[in-house]
Each structure stands twice: as structure tokens, then as C-alpha cells.
Amino acid sequence: MAKKTSAPPASLLGLGAALLLSAAFLMKPFPLLVFAGLAPLYMLAMRLEPGKSFWEPLEVVGLALAISFYSFHFFESTYIVQGILQAIGLMICFGLFGWMRQQLGERTSTLAIMVFWLAYEYAILKLLPATNFIFLADTFAVRTEWVSWNIHTGYLGAGLWILVANWLIYQGVLVEGIRWPWLAAGLVVIAAPIGYGYLLEGPALTRAATIANYESHEKITFSTNGEWIGRTSAWISVLILLFAAVKSKTKRK
């Protein structure tokens, strides 16, 4: 049985997330820390419960993400507002997860955060493609050979990779101390796509090409150019929220 450890304070989790993500964004030639930077945020999400404690973890999530997105552009002052706005958008995603926990119970899985995050990215790509919005996939702008498989998943597929790897690291390290099966699964999920990317021939799908597809106003099919992972996440998000809303109504009766 895994040995239970005392839960770290929200401020420490936020600091850890900010440091890991900022380091990954600043070290673009070797951004491996991005696969651990979101893990503390999953733990903070599990503290989004009704009552006084709801807002503290949500504010810490927002602050950690704002600092991280600001660091993506090497702390240039012109990107402060952008980092804050993007962090607010993701705070809403985490807030929706907290609301879901209130309606559906504490067993609500943090996997829902992945769905909301990818749906948020897809909505920005679809509605505001010309913005300087930072997608998780942008982390590999220098290491495109790691994600040359995104011609099959779409550009946002790398974001799903990051979110899944972080979730496994969270399960393996932060839930009940070190749990080796989860940690091993996380390391495999990190390493396998990198190795597969080196085996593929041809360039990866780039941010510029993806945005150009959405700015062209041409009919984009449900394929690589259609970013099927992001689009599917958006539909699943709608269904999840509708289910939670119905559950909320029935609980009141």
C-alpha cells in the first residue's frame, strides 16, 4: 500500500507549477519540464470544493499560469496583458471543473480538465486564429521533430500529449506519494511519442500552417486541418456541462 503523505500547501503547488512551466518555456530547445509543470495544477483542481477554500486554489492556478505564459516570451513587458488574459480563460476552465465536482460529486475525474483545456484552445483557434495565444503545442516550436506525428493528430494533438503525461505524473507522484506503475506509465507516454517522431519522415504540422488554415475561411474538413482532437474536446465539454446542469436541477427538486 502506498504511504500517504501530507498535502503540500496551495502556494507551494502554484510555485512549483510556475517554476516548472517557466523553465520549460524558457528552455525551448529542451522543454522536457513541460511534462511535469501541470501536475501540481491537477492537485490544486482537486481542492476546488464548495465553501471558502474554492477561491484560493483557483487564484493560485491563475497566478501560476499567468507567470508561466508571461515567461514564454522571455518576460517581455508587451506580453503581460496577454499572459493574464489567457490565465483568466483557463481559470474559468478550472472553475467549471470545480462546479462540476459540486454537482456530480467528489469522484469527478481530473481528466475533465484536459477536455476543457483543449476545448478552450480549439475555441481560440477557431474564433481568433490571428492572436498571439499560446497553445501548449507551441512548447515544441524548436523541437518539431518530437511532434512530427501531429500530421495525424492535428497541431493541438501535442497539447493532449502534454496534458496526459502530466496527469500520469500527478497520479504517480502527488496523489499518495510515489506510485511506481503510474510514474512508469508517465515516462513511457513521454518517451514513446518522442521516439516515434524521430522515426517519421517529413516535417511536423506547424503553428503557422494551422493558423493559416483557419484564417483562409475555406471549408475545413474533420481531418488533420480540422483539429479533430480540439473539436471533439469542445463537443465533449458541452455534453459534460449539460449533464452537470441537469444534475444540478434534479438535485434541487
Say yes or no to pLDDT of 19 above 90. Answer: yes
Let me know if residue 239 belongs to a domain.
yes
- Residue in this structure with the C-alpha cell 474536446, named with its chain if needed: 233
Confidence of residue 126 (pLDDT cuts 50, 70, 90): very high
What pLDDT was estimated at residue 32? 97
Read off the DSSP letter of residue 143.
-
Let me know if residue 2 belongs to a domain.
no
Q: Which residues, 6+ apart, have CB-to-CB distance to 90 below 8 Å?
A: 61, 62, 65, 117, 120
Our count of domains for the chain comes to: 1
| CA atoms of 171 and 167, how far apart (whole Å) | 6
| CA atoms of 37 and 33, how far apart (whole Å) | 6
Let me know if residue 5 belongs to a domain.
no
Say yes or no to pLDDT of 3 above 90. Answer: no
Confidence of residue 48 (pLDDT cuts 50, 70, 90): confident
Is residue 3 a contact partner of residue 177, using CB atoms and an 8 Å limit?
A: yes
pLDDT in tens, 82-102: 999 999 999 999 999 999 988
List the grid coordinates of 141.
Answer: 516550436
What pLDDT was estimated at residue 222? 45
| CA atoms of 232 and 244, how far apart (whole Å) | 18
What pLDDT was estimated at residue 2? 44
Mean pLDDT of the chain: 90
Say yes or no to pLDDT of 158 above 90. Answer: yes
Say yes or no to pLDDT of 51 above 80. Answer: no
Read off the DSSP letter of residue 221.
P
Read off the DSSP letter of residue 201.
-
CA-closest candidate to residue 179, choices 188, 169, 189, 187: 169
Say yes or no to pLDDT of 11 above 80. Answer: yes
How many residues are listed for the chain in this entry?
Answer: 253
Rounded to an integer, the average pLDDT of 146-161 is: 96
Confidence of residue 5 (pLDDT cuts 50, 70, 90): low
Let me know if residue 94 belongs to a domain.
yes
Let me know if residue 1 belongs to a domain.
no
Q: Which residues, 6+ apart, have CB-to-CB distance to 211 below 8 Å?
A: 125, 129, 130
> Whole-prediction pTM value?
0.93
Let me know if residue 91 belongs to a domain.
yes
pLDDT in tens, 217-238: 555 554 445 799 999 999 999 9
Q: Could you write out the DSSP letters of every residue in 145-184?
A: GGGTTHHHH-TTHHHHHHHHHHHHHHHHHTSSS--HHHHH
Confidence of residue 215 (pLDDT cuts 50, 70, 90): confident
Rounded to an integer, the average pLDDT of 113-125 is: 97
| CA atoms of 183 and 145, how far apart (whole Å) | 25
Residue 191: count other Cβ atoms within 10 Å of its Cβ: 12
Which residue would you say has higher pLDDT here, 70 or 2?
70
Structural domain of 234: 10-252
